[in-house]
Structure 1
Amino acid sequence: MEILQATMNELEDLAKLFDEYRQFYGIDSDISSAKAFLQLRLALKESVVFVAQEDGRVIGFTQLYPTFSSVALQRAFILNDIYVTEDARGLGVGKALMEQVFQYCEQQDARYVTLQTAADNVNARKLYEKLHMKQDEYCNYVKYFM
């Protein structure tokens, strides 16, 4: 398995996996919109995407969005998306992607990387805790505009 930072060269395969990820969350398949979204993020350098490849096939990805910590006066990252294909789960792909994220964030002198997951996503929570991530003390609020 190889973890690499995605470029436009991986866009086709990444878009298919991103569409599958969105379907996992109940969204109808729309590969063209998924591709356009990723293409724009990559072109404008608005996100950092890492892909896991095995035998030339993309089997997982993670997407980071940059932000800043005003208190720490440092860059920070939001790990918004992580997905591993069903047939590659349990093989260490998620762990490898997360370790690449941590390495990248350290190289960027980030204060932190944060993520959210569903309370019932037991496998993901176990992974994050195994990787020494901590549940914070903040109470998150959200307002949706659609």
Structure 2
Amino acid sequence: MSPTLRIRQGLLDDLDTLTPLFDAYRRFYEQPGDLDRARAFLRERLALRESVIFLAERLDGDTPRAIGFTQLFPGFSSVAARRLWILNDLFVMPEARAAGVGRALLERAREHARVTGTCRLTLSTVRDNTRAQGLYERFGFMRDADLHYALAID
């Protein structure tokens, strides 16, 4: 029997499961591993309802194994005068890549955007993450013509 993929909303009770995934995501972007920092960040986002997290789990037997997540932050379009969601984070463990997990997480994020009545789902990624860019474009995301700037504060 092949394992089943389950995508579900991550809750505060899932911090023990989410923390190592989030830490691995940060390390992917060349940040130092810091489980305490990862846990505190996620705890605050979830406790204050500042984000929505979807967790990908591989069900093989009785114990689900966390293999990926996506985190959405709320935003707003002043021009459309509507809410939008920012797909800020998407991560799949290396051993689970190229198996449809990223796409399943994107599908769940899109469904959440639809049921919450938003005008769009946006994301950005680093220029050299071509694998993720391919996934996003195959899913239907379009590169926009806007220029984005950032100002470091600390």
Q: Could you say whether these structures have the same fold, taking a TM-score greater than 0.5 normalized by the shorter chain as the test?
A: yes
Match of 2:128 in 1: 120
**What is the TM-score when the length of structure 1 is the normalising length?**
0.97
> By how many angstroms is 1:9 displaced?
2.0
Gaps of 5+ in 1: none
What aligned pairs does 1:53-64 form with structure 2 within 5 A after superposition? 53-55=57-59, 56-64=64-72
Q: How many residues align?
A: 146
- In the alignment, which residue of structure 1 is the partner of 2:43? 39
Equivalent in the alignment of 1:134: 142
2:31 to 21, 27, 30: 27
Q: Structure 2: how far apart are the matches of 1:47 and 1:125?
A: 23
Runs of 4 or more above 2 Å deviation? none
Q: Distance in 2 between matches of 1:12 and 1:30?
A: 14
Map of 2:91 onto structure 1: 83
CA RMSD in angstroms comes to 0.8
Unaligned runs of 5+ in 2: none
SS of the residue 2:49 aligns to: coil
The reply to whether residue 95 of structure 1 matches residue 103 of structure 2 is yes
